Amino acid sequence: MTLVECKNLYKNYGKREVLKNINLKINKGKIYGLLGPNGSGKTTLIKLINDLLVPTNGTILINGKNPGIESKKIISYLPERTYLNFDMKISETIEYFKDFYDNFDEKKAYELLKRLNINKDDKLKTMSKGTKEKVQLVLVMSRKADIYILDEPIGGVDPASRDYILDTILKNFNDNASIIISTHLISDVEKVLDDVIFISDGKIILNESADKLRNERKKSIDAIFREEFKC
Amino acid sequence: MNWVFDNERPIYLQLVEQLKILIISGKFKAGEKLPSVRDLAFETHVNPNTMQKALNELENSKILYTQRTSGKFVTTDKKLLEKLKNELALKYGKQFFENMNNLGFSYDEAIEYLKKSKGEI
Amino acid sequence: MLNKLIKYDFKSMFKNLMPLYLILIGFSILIRISGIAANHFSILKVPAGTLTILYIMLIFGSFIYTFIVSIKRFYTNILKDEGYLTNTLPVKKSNIVLSKILNSGIFLIITVLIIILALIISYFPNQEVVNIFNGLKNSIESLGYNFIVVLLFMIVYMLLGYLNYIQIIYTSLAFGQMHNSNKIVYSFVSGLIIYTVAQIFNLITLGLFIVIFPDTIDMVNTNSVTPSFFTQIFLYGMILQIIYFVAYYVITTVVLNKKLNLE
């Protein structure tokens, strides 16, 4: 079942072509790595899937429909930045997610916070960047979504918590959902990826099973990435 | 079970190797039921799809078999398990001699070191 | 979903405005005390006078601050980092915008009520105010109008006018964010353009009004104004404000739907 389908997708910012003829299928039950350097069009593609941008040409279909309110119900998005209202307490952000998302699991969110030693009565603005990122991840992973899009989920997090976060991501994995992870920390994450998608200069240059690549090229995904994107 | 993976080789093959060791060493005994794919994947911190692929490999090699509603079981074929055990032992030995040869030791010298290191244990 | 959006916008703006309301009330008590003290000790009349000037500045500042908070909420919640959450909620963009507009109105009303409360605390009872009030009431009723109706009408009219000023900023911000750089500059320019277009539209509709109701000019010239004159003028004004309200709202929603460009 194709959850996300991009057909001949183009996106321009003014005259600048940021995405060129993207053709991509994201199927359920898989974990994808969306890998590419800064400026490759990675973030633009993610925004398009999330209906934060409108295509210049071509189509994006989420579960067969154009991005909109229905797709937002089933996509759980973790952007690179902190998108919560800093004046809120953690418990208030949980109420917020509960209010707007039917598929939000409040109990799970509190459990995850407890395991990460985060106090629900703390205000976001008193927290370190790393803790804020953990809170966001908890909120995003506590939704029973069909598509999880995680942009740098372990980026600002200390190495000790990274494993826990990867475990949380794996635990959320189910046959009906797909997870798209976009990251620079490829070597930390690559062992959990089913498929890897390399994007460069607005085009997809590689879309392959991770293990198949390792078998063919006898290298890690990280090494293959460095090869493909040598300056 | 915190296995360390080599990112340069297919993960599922490494899972196959680790699972074989677990079976041979008796952690999963002959005829014993394996935990579910999800549980196994979670314990070993890997993608359930990759674990599934590894289990399929083991099934193809007849080391595991599936009972449709109850899950996956270790084979009761003791001869097969013996064969596996021998294969793995030979593999370790081969690797030892390869490593020692790389350092410049002859086979006899290597065996001497083997005896010496036994004493160290 | 609109209710939920309203709830959270309200909570956030309230957190920002609550300190102002406390200061207003606190200051009003201070004014009352200083007034009483100045009556007993005339040397305190000058400090009391200074306080009064500050009080007036505070009251004017309250309107400005309320306006700014309304703008800020729109900007940070939709166009800054929070926008990554707000714009991916499973809600209509039109409702996101509407919630901000409604809360801007709600908080204007609350600010006004708090100011009225503050003035009552500081100065009630004050015969001059009562006299002015009665004078106003009488002149309106002498024209044959119901005072309550006129009062309500004026409140709605001024509220709409205020909300339309806010919306001009919203629409300008929406246009400004379309660009990748110099967003503030583009917002500012858009604002000027929108304001100018609105003024031109005002002139055009005024012309239309005069064409449709030629007697109005006569009435003004001969100084013999009939009650229907006011009714026509007020209706014209109200309809114009409603047109602007809808126009700004639709334009802002369309731009945010089709041309969102978060950084």
Give the minimum alpha-carbon distance from A190 to chain C in angstroms, rounded to a whole number: 27
Q: From CA A108, how far away is CA A161, in angstroms rounded?
A: 18
Contacts of C99 (CB under 8 A, 6+ apart): C2, C5, C6, C9
**Segment C72-111, tens digit of pLDDT:** 999 999 999 999 999 999 999 999 999 999 999 999 999 9
DSSP code for A39? T
> Which residue in chain C is spatially nearest to A89 when comparing CA positions?
C12
Distance between start and end Cα atoms, chain B: 24
C224 pLDDT exceeds 70?
no
Q: Do chains C and B touch (3 or more CB pairs under 8 A)?
A: no
Beta strands in A14-129 (DSSP E): 16-27, 31-35, 57-62, 75-78
Report the residue of A63, A84, A100, A144 to disrupt the C interface, i.e. the one with the largest count of C CBs within 10 Å.
Answer: A100
Mean pLDDT of B21-27: 90
A45 pLDDT exceeds 90?
yes
Q: What is residue C225's predicted lDDT score, i.e. its pLDDT?
A: 67
**Segment B39-82, tens digit of pLDDT:** 999 899 999 999 999 999 999 999 999 988 888 999 888 899 99
**Segment C28-57, tens digit of pLDDT:** 999 999 888 888 888 878 888 888 999 999
Partners of C83 on chain A (C-beta within 8 Å) are 83
Determine contact: B64 vs chain A, CB below 8 A.
no
Contact between A127 and A133 under an 8 Å Cβ cutoff? The reply is: no
Q: What is residue B101's predicted lDDT score, i.e. its pLDDT?
A: 92
Q: What is residue A18's predicted lDDT score, i.e. its pLDDT?
A: 95
Determine contact: A84 vs chain C, CB below 8 A.
yes
Partners of C85 on chain A (C-beta within 8 Å) are 83-84
Q: From CA B96, how far away is CA C196, in angstroms rounded?
A: 86
C245 pLDDT exceeds 60?
yes
**Segment A55-90, tens digit of pLDDT:** 999 999 999 999 999 999 999 999 999 999 999 999
Cβ–Cβ gap C88/A81 under 8 Å: no
Percent above pLDDT 70 for chain B: 98
Q: Bridge-partner residues for A62, per DSSP? A: A4, A65
Cα-flanking dihedrals φ and ψ of residue A7, to 5°? Answer: -120, 115
| Assembly ipTM | 0.93
Q: A-B interface: how many C-beta pairs under 8 angstroms?
A: 53
Q: From CA B56, how far away is CA B15, in angstroms rounded?
A: 11
Q: For chain A, which domains are there?
A: 2-228 (3.40.50.300)
B121 pLDDT exceeds 60?
no
Q: What is residue B26's predicted lDDT score, i.e. its pLDDT?
A: 87
Q: Does C224 or B51 have the greater pLDDT score?
A: B51
Contact between A122 and A89 under an 8 Å Cβ cutoff? The reply is: yes
Q: From CA A126, how far away is CA B2, in angstroms rounded?
A: 35
Residue C139 burial (C-beta neighbours within 10 Å; 0-12, 13-18, 19+): exposed
Of C1, C87, C92, the CB nearest to A52: C87
Cβ–Cβ gap A194/B50 under 8 Å: yes
- The residue to which tokens 């289990």 are assigned: B55
What part of B 20-49 touches A (C-beta under 8 Å)?
A: 41-42, 45-49
Distance between start and end Cα atoms, chain C: 26
Predicted model pTM: 0.90
What does the domain layout of chain B look like in residue ranges?
11-76, 79-120
**Fold of the B11-76 domain:** Arc Repressor Mutant, subunit A (1.10.10)
Element (H, E) at B90: helix B78-103
